[in-house]
Amino acid sequence: MGTRLMLISPPPPTKTHNQFTPSIIPLLKTHQTISLPTSRKTSSKIQSTSKFGNFLDLKPEYQPESLDFDLPWFQPSDRSHFDVIIIGAGPAGIRLAEQVSLYGIKVCCVDPDPLSIWPNNYGVWLDEFEGLGLQDCLDKTWPMASIYIDDNNTKYLDRSYGRVNRRKLKEKLVKACIFNGVQFYKAKVWEIKHHEFESFVVCDNGTKLKGSLVVDASGFGSNFIEYDDHKVRNYGCQIAHGVLVEVDTHPFDLDKMVLMDWRDSHLGNEPYLRNVNSKVPTFLYAMPFSSNLIFLEETSLVSRPVLSYMEVKRRMVARLRHLGIRVKRVLEDEKCLIPMGGPLPRIPQNVMAFGGNCGVVHPSSGYMVARTMALAPIVAASINECLGSTRMIRGKQLYAKVWNSMWPIERRFVRECYSFGMETLLKLDLNETRHFFDAFFDLKPYYWQGFLSSRLNLKDFALLSISLFGHASNSSRFDIVTKCPVPFAKMMGNMALESIR
């Protein structure tokens, strides 16, 4: 939901305005348009579903192609020493390379395919991207978002939402990297060797790159980031199945994206699915581009253990059938798996984590992209204080300063609060989840917007909790009182450990 990371596998995973493929042009009937990626069409004829609402046998027709840029490639014969080596050319890696290189710091970005388009979709709140100067990297915005609590209760959020134009965002960041002198190297990192004041990045082709600081932005599955042995890595998981599809029609307003649809009437004739959904619920997330072009995603907000991917798809088929949505063509599809919560990496350590592997994923919602874009200038400024000055601070002092710029003690405390929210959500069934979000979105916008955008401080979080309890129904208050003590005790214990570390 929201600024969501759609992660398939590391490197991360979910456009100069290309001309629309002719078969797509008739679908775009709103006042705004969506740019599909420059793509390769895998099937020339329009397919149709064999069963009403069952689209799982349809193959996606479009696959994104790589950027057509002449990158400044690193030549191993140069034997250059870099100030910063960044592993990964996903959103996190490219954004940090762009920001660090603004200071004239020598940066190399290493990735198996630096020019590839990110495969997954990202949704963001418009005000967040406007604050970053990235609003021109959205290919569609909706002035409002809707929340379907149940069949009789719908909430409308007066906050604009947008879909990130993945191609355009990557082009913008890569162009800035090129202008700032960033070099690229096409390889997979195999090993990192550390010395007192420098590190060696060993690639799978035998090439060694030498740098003062190594940043791992290759995604959650990285093997280069270390964790304290005594901390249990008990992540929650968000899993979803998403498709950009051509349909005959759909029931959603074109001026509103659907942030959450918790209705379960589509499972009335599916007793098994309804029973499981009542315990571990899923919701629909939808971006309507026109009357017959829409992005649909069935999502499990958080579960532990992770909900079955096939279970998610079955619920989506049942939902679309009930809504009367007949899928004619699947243009893009994606599998989303986002680890959430769990402990932070050990702070500090020789390798700097950034992006999906540094703990920045919102533990209660899966938000990440806008937060990562906003953190990059902060981390870059810290790197500049060490490597861009005549003092040239390196080694342990460098690692400590950079890590603490991203995770100062108060930010670690606030993250524990968000993780407390995740642990509470894990204990709620469908009806309890509905009660929670009914009260949550009745809060003042400052609180629910701040929570979803990771902008709250400790005082704000305390006031949000009091206000949430005040807005909750009696049954929801009972849920909070009975479900929260264990997660609350865990949160306080983790805060105590952080304060003495």
Number of domains in the chain: 2
Q: What local confidence, expressed as pLDDT, does residue 25 receive?
A: 32
Which of 284, 312, 340 marks a domain boundary? 340
Backbone angles phi, psi at 329, to 5 degrees: -145, 140
Instruction: Determine the Cα angle at 459 with ends 457 and 461, to 5°.
Output: 70
With beta carbons less than 8 A apart as the criterion, state whether 271 and 336 touch.
no
Per-residue confidence (pLDDT) for residue 134, from 0 to 100: 97
> Chain-centre distance of CA 53, in angstroms?
28
> 247 and 335: one domain?
yes
Q: Is residue 434 part of a domain?
A: yes
Q: In this structure, is residue 43 part of a structural domain? A: yes
DSSP code for 52: T
Which among 340, 368, 391 is the end of a domain? 340
Over its C-alpha atoms, the chain yields an Rg (Å, rounded) of 23
Residue 488 confidence (pLDDT): 65
Final residue in a domain of this structure, among 308, 340, 372: 340
Same domain for 328 and 423: no
Question: What string of pLDDT tens digits covers the 501 residues of the chain?
Answer: 544 443 333 333 333 333 333 333 333 333 344 544 444 444 434 444 444 446 888 899 988 789 998 999 999 988 889 999 999 999 999 999 999 999 999 999 999 999 999 988 899 999 999 999 999 999 999 999 999 999 999 999 999 999 999 999 999 999 999 999 999 999 999 999 999 999 999 999 999 999 999 999 999 888 999 998 877 788 999 999 999 999 999 999 999 999 999 999 999 989 999 999 999 999 999 999 999 999 999 999 999 999 999 999 999 999 999 999 999 999 999 999 999 999 999 999 999 999 999 999 999 999 899 999 999 999 999 999 999 877 789 999 999 999 999 999 999 999 998 999 899 999 999 999 999 999 999 999 999 999 999 999 999 999 998 898 887 777 777 777 777 766 766 766 666 666 666
In a domain, 96, yes or no: no
Report the pLDDT value the prediction gives residue 492, as an integer from 0 to 100. 65
DSSP secondary-structure letter at 68? Answer: -
Report DSSP letters for 430-466, one per residue: HHHHHHHHHHHTTS-HHHHHHHHTT---HHHHHHHHH
Cβ-based neighbour number of residue 410 at 10 Å: 11
CA 129 to chain centre: 14
In a shared domain, residues 334 and 416? no
Give the integer Cα–Cα distance in Å for 182 and 219. Answer: 21
Sheet order of strands, 123-125 included: 123-125, 161-164, 138-142
Within a domain: 183 = no
**Residue 303 lies inside a defined structural domain of this protein:** yes
Grouping H, G, I as helix, E, B as strand and the rest as coil, residue 286 is: strand
The predicted pLDDT at position 138 comes to 97
Domain annotation covers residue 297: yes
Give me 57's structure tokens: 């046998």
Does residue 140 lie in a domain region? Answer: no
Residue 459 domain boundaries: 410-500
Judge contact between 6 and 121, C-beta under 8 A. yes
Q: How far apart are CA 359 and CA 380, in angstroms?
A: 18
Q: What sign for the dihedral angle of Cα 21, 24, 28, 32?
A: negative
CA-to-CA separations, 292 to 25, 265, 279, 329, in angstroms, rounded: 11, 23, 33, 10
Query: Which token pair is 202?
Result: 């060993």
One-letter amino acid identity for 39? S
pLDDT computed for residue 501 by the predictor:
61
Residue 94 placed within a domain:
no
